[in-house]
Amino acid sequence: MIELGKYNLLGVNVSAVDYEAAVGKIVDAAENRRALGVSALAVHGVMTGAMDDTHRHRLNQLELIVPDGQPVRWALNLLYGTALPDRVYGPNLMLKTCAAAAQRGLGIFLFGGRQELLNDLQSKLLEKIPDLKILGTMPSRFRTITPEEKSEIIQAIAASGAAITMVGLGCPRQEVWAYEFKDELRMPVLAVGAAFNFHAGRLPQAPPWMQRLGLEWFYRLTKEPTRLWQRYLLLNPYYLTLLFLQWSKLKTFDPASTTPPERETLYG
């Protein structure tokens, strides 16, 4: 098990952990009814925090940010000598957490996407992990919600008896959701993004060799060029530029230099 603590990457505190440590933290929090905000960040996710003081504040209030992308793992190894042998890929973390939850008898709740997606996701997860207790699902409203609607969502998840909530709203909305809901839910909230579509069979995953080489972004770009071209063709070079500045000590990135949000965003 690898658990080396948090490290500053462009001002975002990323945990140098492996799957075993990450799942262990999630299960422990679930069993003890403790709030735990979890996100798996690739380059795009890190850059949402690097470029936005308010969102960086939210990210740094999450208890566990794992290195989802190979370039994020490589950066931790380069800057801090963590020698992480593998990334902690969000879709795999989701499955490993579901398997551990099934073994411990912990129920999960699925939030986000459309109901048709959630139906497919539930069916596919139960095919892979028959003992998994999926105690509730709720689709996104695809808009901002009212405080009253937030309370209704919290009550519905609490009433389900679930011990872990998994959220698929896309980055950065799902990280905002985890930040705003985790303390009142008093359970682990996992922001897993595209994992919902992958595991529901709606989106293909990159071949393993492309994932190992850090080329998943290119595979996804070929599948959704219109939606993703700005994310990858603009942000990836900017990430490398900022990483060079941090490595060379030409620029410092202070995780404490953030701006707390004045009010809740309330995506739902």
Give the residue, 50 or 212, on which the prediction is more confident. Answer: 50
Q: State residue 55's pLDDT score.
A: 96
Q: State residue 203's pLDDT score.
A: 79
pLDDT single digits (tens) 173-198:
999 999 999 999 999 999 997 899 99
Judged by average pLDDT, the poorest of 54-68, 132-146, 223-237 is 223-237
Q: pLDDT averaged over the chain?
A: 94
Which three-class secondary structure state does DSSP give residue 58? Answer: helix
Q: State residue 43's pLDDT score.
A: 94
pLDDT single digits (tens) 210-224:
788 778 877 777 877
Q: State residue 76's pLDDT score.
A: 98
**DSSP assignment, residue 267?**
B
Which three-class secondary structure state does DSSP give residue 268? Answer: coil
- % of residues, the chain, pLDDT over 70: 100
Which three-class secondary structure state does DSSP give residue 203? Answer: coil
Within 10 angstroms of residue 6's Cβ, the number of other Cβ atoms is 16
Indicate if the alpha-carbon torsion angle 120, 48, 239, 221 is positive or negative: positive
Separation between Cα atoms, residue 221 and residue 184, nearest integer Å: 37
Average of per-residue pLDDT across 70-98: 97
* Contact predicate 88/67, CB 8 Å: yes
Question: Where does the pLDDT of residue 78 fall: very low under 50, low under 70, confident under 90, or very high at 90 and above?
Answer: very high
DSSP alpha helix (H) spans, 136-215:
147-160, 173-185, 195-199, 208-212
Phi/psi of residue 109, nearest 5 degrees: -125, 135
- % of residues, the chain, pLDDT over 90: 81
* Contact predicate 2/245, CB 8 Å: no
Question: For residue 207, what are the contacts with CB-CB under 8 A and spacing of at least 6?
Answer: 219
Q: State residue 211's pLDDT score.
A: 81
* Contact predicate 175/61, CB 8 Å: no
pLDDT single digits (tens) 124-177:
999 999 999 999 999 999 889 999 999 999 999 999 999 999 999 988 999 999
Chain centroid to CA 259: 21
Separation between Cα atoms, residue 141 and residue 168, nearest integer Å: 12
Domains recognised in the chain with CATH numbers: 7-199 (3.40.50)
Separation between Cα atoms, residue 238 and residue 174, nearest integer Å: 23
Report the DSSP beta bridge partners of residue 134.
108
